[in-house]
Every structure is written in structure tokens, then in C-alpha cells.
Amino acid sequence: MNKWFLIIAIAFLGGCAEEVKEEQVTAENQPNIIWLVAEDQSPDWFPMYGDSTIRLPHIEALARDGVTFDNAYSPVPVCAPARSAIITGMYPTTLGTHNMRTYAPWRGVPGDKPYETLDIPSYSPVVPDGVKMFTQYLREKGYYTTNGPKEDYNFEKMDAAWDDSSKEPFWGGREEGQPFFSVFNFSVCHESQIWKRGKDQLLISPSKVKVPPYFPDTEVVRHDMAVNYSNLKRLDNQIGQIITGLKRDGLYENSIIFFYGDHGGPFPRHKRALYESGTKVPMTIKFPKKEKAGSRDDRMISFIDLAPTVLSLAGIEPPKVMQGKAQFGKFEADKKAKYTFHSADRFDAIYDKLRAVRSERYKYIRSYDTNKSHALPVSYREQMPMMQELRRLYRAGKLNEQQALWMKPTKPEEELYDLENDPYELNNLVSQSDLNDTLVHLRKVLDEWIVETNDLGRIPEEELIAKWLPDGKQSQLDPLEMEDANGEIKLFSAKSDATILWRTTQDSLWTIYTKPIPKDVPFEAKAERIGYIGSEILSVSE
């Protein structure tokens, strides 16, 4: 990669000017970074985690070239809240994105009510001051950023985030030698594909599937699990196409490639559950020149760490507002996490608040409504044959004790599991006297986290919406202000942490405003911020 010289004399962002020293940017501190994201998958079904049921040659090869992580976690066991954590480096419970889902424009324009049974609109939460989509910082440092095809962040995406966000994003649109960050989201292994591909040809015999003890060993269960394995084979083929493209373009060796799942698996008791099956994810990172190839790493990583880690790998200091910590790179954190924290709140039209903390050995789960079953009747999931099978067998009394636990109409207020001796979390140890100190300690850790991170789950969603949507409408940013100084145009926003964007009248892509614009250049400009309607577009002609 050619050397880049990025010189920013004066940066105008959020209405204030800040001098930035001249910085020499090189290939060493601006590596290409690629994310390969598998939707709805747990580590259990991947060869690098010990499962030999099906071969996934491209993912296996990536693991051999990289580092496999044994304790990677999503803070929420469902996609949109999890993705909000990934893109901001923040807990969804702090952002206000903890409910699944808040922003649903495909169910109507923002403000419309997407659920017939709930009197709440589609909305973008007003996130805390200074929170941005982290790819904005990459673009400001010269990165070409692409994403596809998902923009499901539980808030309206910002134009500052991506150079290209589409169904077929690629690194080929960048300038020669420009570093890039590309995200590829693979939906072929999504929960919905269990029933949508249920009649497709299976790529593995159901007889070869290993059924976990919390599921009954039936033909329906085995078939759905075989569908998932088949989908993983399709995923592997799609990932192979990306890796082949990187190698073809001479980019594979020196690029940093992340492979991970966006939360736990697609099945009941996986997705939407705070058990390991819902929060633990597969993760492999291939570093430049295959550093530490074939090794394993047992550090505890949460999705809130991904944004600061990528920034650190790119030589950019993560903003202090981020709750996650850089795990690698120039700004790697000195201390490693002792715990991961997890939440569940509303799933589509059903509320069920739970919180959890996981230490190296133990998991503590707290339920705020014990009169609801863990097996919530989420209409989306009820389409799955396995879910229908579980309902039928439970009603008929044909599930054993372990299989019936998740299906019971009520649940305990507290759950404590020894993950070392009980990896499937089937033996609740809350009443075990010799673990009382552990129970008390994890209660305290969770309580402190709830306060320290300002867990918005303590506030009813209707109250949050009333605060964020005064008069029932999303607030709009004020128009930009403009100043003519020495033949250049300076732009200002009244909102201190808004991002200012501009483009020439010939361009379609919005550029992040970092320095004054020559007076003789016709342009358009606007301000944007998560949780607000962008300002009216300012048009300036010659």
C-alpha cells in the first residue's frame, strides 16, 4: 500500500474548531480490515470449536491462519440491539437501543406504529452525547468504508458512516492504495432460513447431527439442525468467494480479517436467550502476515470492544465515550475484562426484562418478571418447525426434565450456573449454600453495572419515547450556520456533537466536513446526529 499523508490543519466538528497536528499515515498503521459476519450462529457447530459434523474449509483455513477466541460474547442475544453495540462501542442499554426493535422503517415511516398490540412508534433513540457510528472516524482518517447489506442498527443510519452501503459493497470503488474497512453480513444462516430453506436439499444427513440435551431427539429437531448445518456450508462457500477476491487482489496476506457471529444460534433457547447458547459467538481474527496463526485466545471479549479495537488497529485513539476497550493495536487496553454483561428486554411485541453477568466460570441471570416463560411466544420464531415441535411435546408431557426447563410457564427470579461443570446451564445453583458468596458477589457486580452504565431498561419504554419524541415527533437539527472567512466558507452546527457533511453539487456521496470549503465551490451541506432528523440541506452556489 502506498504511503498516505493526511494533513488536517483545522477540524470543524460539532461546532468547535480543534487543531490537529500533521500526521504521517502509513500502511503499517492503516491496514485493510474486513468483517465477515455470520447471522445467528453459536460456536457449537464450527470445526475450530471441536465440531466435526460438517467441514467448512474456508472458515477452517481462516482459523488456521488466525487466532480463535474462546470467550467472545454479544451483550444482547438478538440482532438489532447487538448491531447497535457493534457499530458504536456502547451497551444497548446505555444507548436506548436495548429493545428489539425500535427503528423499523420497513413497517412504515418513522413515527408509525409497527406492532398492532403495542402503542409505540418506530423511532431512533437519542443516544448519549458524543456517540457516533465508529466508521465515521475511519473515513476521517482516509479509509474507504463499505457495508452490506444490513443497516439494522435499531436507529437510523448516518450518512457519515459509509462510502458504500448496499447489497453488493466491495473495496474496488476506492482510490488506488486507499485503505478500506469492509463489512459483509451473511443472512444465509439467519433464523428465518431454517423454515425458508426447510424443503431445500440437505447437505448433511440428519442422522449425523448431535442433539444437545435441552432438545428432544426427534426427526423434526434433527431436520432443523441439519438445515442449519447445510446453511453453514452455504455460508462457507460465500465466505470463500470473499477470501478468493482478497487473494486475487493481493490483499489477503496483509489484511486483518474478522469472522464472527452476530449473536447465538437460530434455534429456540439460543436466539433471544441469555444462556451461552444465545450470547456466546464464534470469533476468529486473522492478523497481517498470519501473526499467531493457529493459536487460541481465552480473553473475554464483548461486542462493545469491536469498535475501539478496529480504531486502535487503524492507529486511531478510540473516543472516551466508548464503553468498550481496544483488545489489540496501538491503543490496546492494559487491563482485560473480568466479566461480560448481557440484557434482554422487548422482543418484537413482547416485553421480558432480564439481565446477566458472566465471570470466567459462573453465569448469573436475573429475571424481572417470573410469571413469563423463557419460551416467549414470539410470532416470528413460532414459524420454525422445531419451535412448533417443542410446543407440541411440552403440551403432551413428552419432554424430560432438562428439555422442559426452558418451556415452563414461569421462570426463577435468579439463576446461577457453573459453566465449567454445567456448560449447557441446566442445573440452577442459586440455592446451593457453598456458592452463596459467589451469588452475592455476582449480584453486586450486576447491580453496579446497571448503575454505572445508566441502564435505560429501568425506565418504561413509553417514558423514553415521550422524552425522545416530544409532541410525538423526532426532533430536527437546526440549520447550519455559515461564515465567510478569507475566501473560505466555515460551517457550524448549534448541536455540539452533530456531524457536518458536505458535497459538491456534482457529487452524490456525502463527505465529512473537516476544514473550510473554498468560496468558489458550489456545495450542499447538512448536520446529522443519531436520534435526530438531519438539518435542512444548505445549498451554496458560486
How would you classify the pairing of strands 295-297 and 511-512? unpaired
Q: ∠ CA(230), CA(150), CA(124), 5° rounding?
A: 135
Q: 13, 38, 59, 79: which one is catalytic?
A: 79
Reply yes or no on whether 16 is catalytic.
Answer: no
Q: Kindly tell me the burial class for residue 183, based on how many C-beta atoms sit within 10 Å of its own C-beta (0-12, 13-18, 19 or more).
A: buried
Backbone angles phi, psi at 472, to 5 degrees: 80, 10
Grid coordinates 465551490 are at which residue?
521
Instruction: Report residue 253 CA to chain centroid gap.
Output: 26
> What is the rounded distance in angstroms from the CA atom of residue 444 to the CA atom of residue 437?
11
Neighbouring residues of 431: CB distance < 8 A, sequence distance ≥ 6: none
Q: Which amino acid is at 65?
A: D
Q: Which burial class, exposed, middle or buried, applies to 540 when counting CB atoms under 10 A from its CB (0-12, 13-18, 19+)?
A: middle
Q: Answer for the pair 84, 154: CB distance below 8 angstroms, yes or no.
A: yes
Who contacts 222 (Cβ-Cβ below 8 Å, separation ≥6)? Answer: 206, 207, 209, 211
CA–CA separation, 513 and 279 (whole Å) = 38
Burial environment of residue 368 by CB neighbours within 10 A (0 to 12, 13 to 18, 19 or more): middle
Which amino acid, residue 525?
Answer: A
Find the angle CA(144)-CA(147)-CA(151) to the nearest 5 degrees.
135
**40 by DSSP, 3-state: which?**
coil
CA distances from 441 to 259, 362, 457, 539 (A): 34, 11, 22, 58
Over the range 495-523, which residues count as b (16 or more CB within 10 Å of their CB) and which as e?
bebbbbbbbeeeeeebbbbbebbeeeeeb
- Residues with catalytic roles: 79
